[in-house]
Structure 1
Amino acid sequence: MNDRFDHADVIVEASPNGVGLITLNRPGALNALSLPMIRALTAALTAWKEDERIHAVAIRGKSKLGDFGAFCAGGDIRFFHRAALAGDPALEDFFTEEYALNHLIFTYPKPYIAFMDGVVMGGGMGISQGGRCRIVTERSKVAMPETHIGLFPDVGGGYFLGRTPGRVGEYLGLTGQVISGAQAMLWGLADVWAPADTLSKGWEALQRVQAGNPVDFWADWQAQMPALGWKTGEAAALTLGAQPLAEELEHAFAADTVPEIAQRLQAAGTDIACQTLHTLQQRSPLMLHVVLAQIRRARGMALADELRMERDMVRHCFHPRHLGRGPAASETVEGIRALAVDKDHSPRWNPQTIESVTPEMVEPFFVSPWPAAAHPLRDLG
């Protein structure tokens, strides 16, 4: 089988035994997703979805050092900044097509295997969390860090963070905390822990599985994991150093509002509570309130509805008309400016304090700017 769907930053091919192989090939940018990359991924997955010759799909990210080591650092935020300021309609296309891709992966009818080695953040989570087999290593750095740039954990973040244990979703969503592969496995954001030096063997083993359908392929693939030295399960994660969310953080992030979360962290007074409070104080106060509402709404939502909600939210992030602002004055454009453009790491958030945020500032983020029949993601289901 020699089907190929090549793109400069995405290498896509089908192996003779029926595995669709995808390699993100933009190592200089830690495989940050561009719109052409999203389109290449969508084209391949759509073609393979109905192709009876394909029994499974595997995806990895090339690093500067080899075929693994930098899965995907997220979306191309410098493009977001340029496009927002220029009024480029490609920005709208990016989020519509990225969220549709996320839905495609979450609902994929064949085993989808993500090698989450190295940086796995934001958009990288969006193209891995829907997989049936999410593989992490000792090099994995897993996060939904969007509050760093005045955004929210999108790409289905409300959906999968909202389904982590206890108040882990609120903690990860509001802080943007980076966690290890083992920690991701304990908290339900990964399935398998593998030593990084065994990933090539695993990639090769996938191409030796002999099965005539996705069900048999999955059974054979699972049976090969122990021989590779790969580990699964909560007990393995704990052995590898993962820990439950600290009790004081669990208590704090169960609070009803962001100011109450901050108060509980301050009252706890432990090192981890103080560090977490300091982190929150660096984030956009407005977006902290938005994210808390997002995750709690998303817990009771179906995936397609949650992604439609996120599409509404991201439009308001770049066009906060209800705040009397244009794109240049949005929290997101300002956050990207401070982190990745001017790199002064001093965002000028508005409002400046969590106590200054009102419900009237937050609620419009969840009002769709489109009628249901015209929603960009109306066909998801």
Structure 2
Amino acid sequence: MTAGPTPRTNTASSATPTDEVLFERRGHLGVITLNRPRAVNALTAGMAAAMLDQLTAWEDDDGVATVLVHGAGERGLCAGGDIVAIYEDMLAGGEATADFWRTEYQLNALIAGYSKPYVAFMDGLVLGGGVGISAHGSVRVVTERTRTGMPETTIGFVPDVGGTLLLSRSPGESGTHAALTGAHLSGADALFLGLADHFVSSGNLPALAAALETEAAEDAVGRFAEEPPASALAGQRDWIDSCYASDDAEDILRRLRTFDGEAADEAADTIEAKSPTAVKVALASLRRARGLSLEEVLAEEYRVGLRFLAGADFREGIRAQVVDKDRNPQWKPAALHEVSAADVARFFEPLGDRELNLQAKEARNV
């Protein structure tokens, strides 16, 4: 089973020096292949920069009508940013990560405003930064193998790459639940949350990719799209909307604990295991995202991200989950009530001359 077209060499192909991301033309289709299968195609700074450059070039190329992004290997589109590289950079001061995020967020904004159909095969794992290079696209395809989500609170961080905006727009409080718990979600759940548009069986992705070489994206995807299975998350709207209808994380936790249901209690256990600072900042980020543009949200997420780079919990979360793998992070502070409103507000303070300052696409094209 493949997640999309198999990379092949032709006269219209190009690659980064390390071949971590491949680009080629097939008919009128521009194909982007994330090519780090052993790392589930985790995104690096070089990959983000190469994608930004190639997408910019293709947008002005009349020979490219549609763009497709997919991941090499069997495991998924993209497991997110390369957090081991981020951890190592944090130990050295974090400047390379700040530069990476600046490029990555520019890429997210470009994808969101892309003038041509941008088709994302969200097959297998699609987490964190993988959501950023797919869910902002115009044609988002999930499968029965999709496992997606924004699991950043698990590593002492918060949803970024525009994820706070995407989840703030999800039905009811389902996006709040997804953000605070960091739950892995099915393709059907992604459709319900508004992170995807179409369900296609994974075995049909190669044929769909071939059709995109000559057909309009809407026509090709329409022929292969299927009725999705039911979303488990959609079936839990009653307790989710009731429990998460608060702007206070401690109140949300109380509601989850007092709601008569095993799922709500499990959600409370999950949230209590996360970084208290990350949980409170993530909730504030979601609430602040309502009514903002993507560029405004990315600017706020950049402020928040740089503050987490300078703090202790992000580094500790990666250490516990990925480096030492003891799964026993020591959060500081260790409890929600120890994180004050003033503590949260400091994450959103302006950065001065380090601001992201993205402009909306309409302004960029003037």
- 1:125–1:256: structure 2 CA closer, same or farther, 3 Å change rule? same
Question: Do structure 1's residue 11 and structure 2's residue 22 form an aligned pair?
Answer: yes
Q: Deviations over 1:112-167 (max 9, x none)?
A: 00000000000000000111110001100011000010110000011111111111
Distance in structure 1 (CA, Å) of the matches to 2:218 and 2:304: 38
Q: Deviations over 1:186-208 (max 9, x none)?
A: 22111110111111111111113
Aligned counterparts, 1:160-239, within 5 A: 160-209=166-215, 217=216, 221-228=217-224, 230-231=225-226, 236-237=227-228, 239=230
> Aligned residue for 1:55?
65
> Aligned residue for 1:112?
118
Q: Deviations over 1:168-215 (max 9, x none)?
A: 121111110111001111221111101111111111111132xxxxxx
Shift of 1:62: 1.1
Q: Which runs of 5+ in 1 are unaligned?
A: 210-216, 321-329
Contact residue 112 and residue 132 of structure 1 kept, 8 A: yes
> Aligned residue for 2:280?
289
Distance in structure 2 (CA, Å) of the matches to 1:252 and 1:360: 24
Out of 249, 272, 280, the position equivalent to 2:263 is: 272
- 1:80–1:139: structure 2 CA closer, same or farther, 3 Å change rule? same
Out of 231, 242, 248, the position equivalent to 1:251 is: 242
Contact residue 186 and residue 238 of structure 1 kept, 8 A: no
Out of 288, 294, 307, the position equivalent to 1:303 is: 294
Aligned counterparts, 1:30-45, within 5 A: 30-45=40-55
- Amino acid of the residue matched to residue 318 of structure 2? I
- Amino acid of the residue matched to residue 29 of structure 2? V
Shift of 1:375: 2.1
> Aligned residue for 1:376?
356
SS of the residue aligned with 2:33? strand
> Aligned residue for 1:84?
90
> Aligned residue for 1:354?
336
SS of the residue aligned with 1:293? helix
SS of the residue aligned with 2:58? helix
- Amino acid of the residue matched to residue 6 of structure 1? A
Output the aligned Cα RMSD: 1.6
Q: Which runs of 5+ in 2 are unaligned?
A: 1-9, 362-366
Contact residue 32 and residue 70 of structure 2 kept, 8 A: yes
User: TM-score of the superposition, structure 2-length normalised?
Assistant: 0.92
- Amino acid of the residue matched to residue 12 of structure 1? F
- Amino acid of the residue matched to residue 278 of structure 1? D
Q: Deviations over 1:71-126 (max 9, x none)?
A: 00000000111001112521111110011110010011100000000000000000
- 1:241–1:310: structure 2 CA closer, same or farther, 3 Å change rule? closer
- 1:101–1:227: structure 2 CA closer, same or farther, 3 Å change rule? closer
SS of the residue aligned with 1:40? helix
User: TM-score of the superposition, structure 1-length normalised?
Assistant: 0.88
- Corresponding residue pairs, total: 350
Out of 165, 170, 192, the position equivalent to 1:159 is: 165
Q: Deviations over 1:253-292 (max 9, x none)?
A: 1122001001001111311011100100110011111011
> Aligned residue for 1:314?
305
Shift of 1:243: 2.9
Distance in structure 1 (CA, Å) of the matches to 2:94 and 2:22: 27
Contact residue 250 and residue 336 of structure 2 kept, 8 A: yes
